[in-house]
Amino acid sequence: MNITEFQEELLSKAMGAGFEEAEVYYERSNSFQCMIFKGDIDSYETSEDSGVGLRGLYKGKMGYAYTEKLDEDSISFLIDNAKANAAILDEDDGTDIFEGSKEYVGYKFYSEELAKVQIPEKIELLTTIEEKILAYDPRIVTLNYCVLQDFSGERLLSNSKGLSLHENKNGLIIFISALVKEGEEMKTGSFIKMTRDFGSLNADEIAKEAAEEALSNLGEKSIPAGKYPIIMRYDAAASLLSTFAPIFSAENTQKDQSLLKGKVGKKIASDFFTILDDPFHPDAVAGSNFDGEGVATKTRAIVSNGTLETLLHNRKTAKIEGCETTGHAQKASYKSTLSVAPLNMYIVPGHKSKDDLITSLSEGILITELSGLHSGANTISGDFSVAATGFHIKDGTISSSVKQMTIAGNFFDFMKDIEEIGSDLHFRPGGYGSPSLHVKELSVTVD
């Protein structure tokens, strides 16, 4: 079925069925993924899929429905279900369907060059990387993950107010995890990279980085529990930021689910701490020209030198507070209702390299990986107590890796306790970035 025709028919039938306003959201994507194990293709996956969501105002309330089966019956399925869902809501959504922003940046999230790269080239790169890692050091036992994934997709938003937006996106991710063994000690180390520039991927560099990451974790020692100054490496810092990003959502402050309620204009973090949300950052692969309601996105300061500049809003939360939307309506897919989320949030880098941050510590811990954030971090209280991988720093140098640790603290305190910010900004595939951070102290317990 042709999507343009389907869309027009759905909109006109929805309006005919009593919707005051309606919007159709469509996504289509293709992907390829393969995993190499000991020189062979272990798994090989391709996909092609699409789905459509209907969002419509019915008797003043916003109903939703979606389907992945596009046929004659799906139009009535969408209309009937969206009506039934609108009917049980307790109040007006407070918003209507959006007529469109004056201007859109029109940033390109799609690389024609990347689209031209053929599957055999991708497999060859991945096979070469595996080979080089396995040959790098005899202590490398195997790669428990050696995966390449790429995707391309389009999304389309059109509504009864005449707005029609379209965007293409593609990208490629490489994920590697190596298992290393020395005596009885076993460790893993992982590497992840997302890019739109296939040519920038260098097998030697990737192999070296992934192998060194895993090998460096060997030789673990235990250290006494206690409070230690912390260098949180860029990737661990970005994962912590992504976990606590919901605190910046106005949807959460309005529902008493974030302690940043009433804090706009107030100091919430140390003076050097600035957070930007930049959907067009060239080093990041996440981002978009329009949000889930069709509002134009733009680069914004969320925290400037420690002061909370704004919360993240969609049109509904903005209306409640009498302000403008910040273009942060999130629609994770056609299967989702609207919520609020950042596009590509990151901590603005400072001037010192990670090594310089380490040199400045007489004693401390370098954290390179956090795990268990989904369960050990509470975005409502700000408390976190999670497992960590890292190194003991003594007299300004790394002395050894540390046995599995937990680190515990509170994110609201963490933002205030940042003493220095590194220059090494890195982005995660999901759209969060950070440089390495020097934090005053966290509670550390070692296994």
Partner 1 sequence: MIKQSIIENVLEAALSTGGDFSEVFIEDKYVNRIELQSGKIEKSISGRDFGVGIRIFSGLQSIYTYTTDFSEEGLLIAAKRAAHAIKGGAQGIIHPLRKETFNPIHQIALMPQTVEHARKVSVMRKANEIARNYDERIRQVALRYIDEEQNVLIANSEGKFVEDTRVHSRLSIQATASDGIEMQTGFYGPGAHAGFEFIENLNLEHYAGEAARIAVTMLGAEECPSGKFSVIIDNEFGGVIFHEACGHGLEATSVAKDNSVFANRIGEKVAPDIVTYIDDGTLPNEWGSLNIDDEGEKTRKNVLIENGILKGYLIDKFNARRMNADATGSSRRESYRFNPTSRMTNTYIAPGTSSPDDIIASTEYGIYAKYMGGGQVNPATGDYNFAVMEAYLVKNGKIDSPVRGATLIGNGAKTLQLVDRVGNNLAHGAGLCGASSGSLPVNVGQPMIRVSEITVGGTKGE
Q: What is the footprint of partner 1 within residues 357-416 (CB under 8 A)? A: 371-372, 374-376, 378, 380-381, 383, 385-387, 404-410
Q: State the Cα–Cα distance between residues 328 and 390, nearest whole angstrom.
A: 34
Give me 9's structure tokens.
């028919």
Stretch binding partner 1 (CB under 8 A), from 10-18, 46-54, 165-173, 271-279? 46-54
Contacting partner 1 (CB under 8 A), which of 8, 42, 124, 283? 42
Contacting partner 1 (CB under 8 A), which of 186, 266, 271, 332? 186
Residue 270 Cβ vs partner 1, minimum distance, rounded to whole Å = 20
Q: Does 179 bind partner 1 (CB under 8 A)?
A: yes
Which helix (H) or strand (E) covers residue 208, if one does?
helix 203-216
Q: Does 5 bind partner 1 (CB under 8 A)?
A: no
Non-local (6+) Cβ contacts of 81 within 8 A are: 63, 65
Q: Does 124 bind partner 1 (CB under 8 A)?
A: no
Residue 406 Cβ vs partner 1, minimum distance, rounded to whole Å = 3
What number of chain residues touch partner 1 (CB under 8 A)? 75
Q: Does 72 bind partner 1 (CB under 8 A)?
A: no
Nearest residue (CB) to partner 1, 48 versus 103: 48
Task: Give, in degrees to the nearest 5, the angle at Cα 288 between 351 and 205.
Answer: 50
Stretch binding partner 1 (CB under 8 A), from 132-140, 232-240, 254-262, 298-306? 254-262
Contacting partner 1 (CB under 8 A), which of 3, 17, 37, 201? 37
Q: State the Cα–Cα distance between residues 149 and 153, nearest whole angstrom.
A: 13
Mutual angle of helices 119-136 and 203-216, in 10-degree steps: 40
Identity of the amino acid at 330: Q
Other CB atoms within a 10 A radius of the CB of residue 225 amount to 12
Task: Give, in degrees to the nearest 5, the angle at Cα 326 between 247 and 349.
Answer: 65
Per CB under 8 A, contacts with partner 1 among 273-332 are: none
Closest residue by Cα to residue 394 from 418, 421, 358: 358
Residue 312 Cβ vs partner 1, minimum distance, rounded to whole Å = 18
Residue 186 Cβ vs partner 1, minimum distance, rounded to whole Å = 5
Q: Does 66 bind partner 1 (CB under 8 A)?
A: yes
Which helix (H) or strand (E) covers residue 69, if one does?
none
Stretch binding partner 1 (CB under 8 A), from 33-41, 168-176, 294-302, 428-436? 33-41
Residue 159 Cβ vs partner 1, minimum distance, rounded to whole Å = 17
CA quadruple 175, 213, 37, 387: dihedral sign: negative
From residue 307, how far is each of 59, 111, 277, 416 by CA, in Å? 41, 37, 15, 11
Q: Does 47 bind partner 1 (CB under 8 A)?
A: yes
Per CB under 8 A, contacts with partner 1 among 202-241 are: 224-227
Residue 110 Cβ vs partner 1, minimum distance, rounded to whole Å = 21
Q: Does 87 bind partner 1 (CB under 8 A)?
A: yes
Residue 15 Cβ vs partner 1, minimum distance, rounded to whole Å = 20
Residue 306, CA atoms < 13 Å, CB-side half-sphere = 13
SS3 47: strand
SS3 324: coil
Nearest residue (CB) to partner 1, 46 versus 353: 46
Q: State the Cα–Cα distance between residues 425 and 71, nearest whole angstrom.
A: 47
Say which DSSP state 373 is in: H
Stretch binding partner 1 (CB under 8 A), from 9-17, 18-26, 186-194, 394-402? 186-194
Nearest residue (CB) to partner 1, 176 versus 296: 176
Contacting partner 1 (CB under 8 A), which of 4, 12, 76, 144? 144
Q: State the Cα–Cα distance between residues 7 and 4, nearest whole angstrom.
A: 5
Contacting partner 1 (CB under 8 A), which of 90, 103, 112, 395? 90
Q: Does 58 bind partner 1 (CB under 8 A)?
A: no
